Structure 1
Amino acid sequence: MSEELTQETHDELYVHIIILHKPVFSFTKCLTTCSKEDMISIATDLRYKERRSKTKTVIAEDFFKELSLKSQHQLSFQPKDNIQLLKELMNGPKEIDLIPFSRKNPDLFDLLYFHWVFLFYYEDTYTLVLPNETKEILQNFIDDPDFKEEHKRKNLLHAYIEGL
């Protein structure tokens, strides 16, 4: 099987997770690289209520508020590898080879789906970006002993359930 993305697969991923744009590092700029319709569709998929009458910037700001409110709870369910990846991305963006990287990190798509991390494709390079505002949120709890304990407990429960 080829390691290359077919144009059809690339187009399908573009609709959902790949941003064809030079990497940007603010959450609002990351999200507003999408069309307004795509932004509303993303918000609807995540059960965030948005009105079409709002500007793209206001939609992005509202989206970030929702993300902020649910952040610690949602991330406590993420696998260890995703938490480790977030910690790595706190040091800066990461260029990746998409196919091999996604095979090694299949849960990466959760981070992309919930827009914790954005994936840019620009000049034949895939780059994972953790927006600056998201870094600030993560710094508040990712190394907190209570969060680590809750994360460990939920991952253990997940492993038990998977074992059954």
Structure 2
Amino acid sequence: MNKIIKKYVFFLIVVAINLLTMFFYPQVEKDTLIFTGENFINFLFMLTPIFICIGLLDVWVDRETMIKIMGEKSGLPGIFVAFLLGVATAVPLYALFPVAGMMLKKGSKITNVLIFICSCASIRIPLLLFEVSSMGWKFTIIRFIVNIFVVMIIAFIIEKVLTEKNKKSIYDKAKNM
């Protein structure tokens, strides 16, 4: 019983706060529940296509193909593919982690997966378009070039810091997804 309470302590606190709010401020609680419901529906509409794409990736792309494109010996072409995939995405970051897990499961190099995630977080095309419209071309180009180097440095440093035991653990966890 204590394990269950420990596991869901945050959820139980939120429920308790909601119950207190409902008792003392019913209109605020109504607005809160409406807001939560709308965000939950948006969350589902965002994740459903992502999980469909992950399922298709799992079925359609052979492990050998993924290893050839983004595996340990993929070199610069693997880095380029990971970077382009990351830049082309337009989904929230929480939706990218299942994709990254599937890439690891299929045999992608950890560096390439990190490049994918980092470029998704900081260099995506919709973000660049927003920056051009609000900050100008000069700022956007400078930030884009700096971020390319930063993304590569982060990915390679993390790859070097990880021990073989860490890497094996990451791949094992990805295979059990």
Structure whose residues are more often strand by fraction: 1
TM-score by length of 1: 0.27
Q: Which has the larger radius of gyration?
A: 2
TM-score by length of 2: 0.26
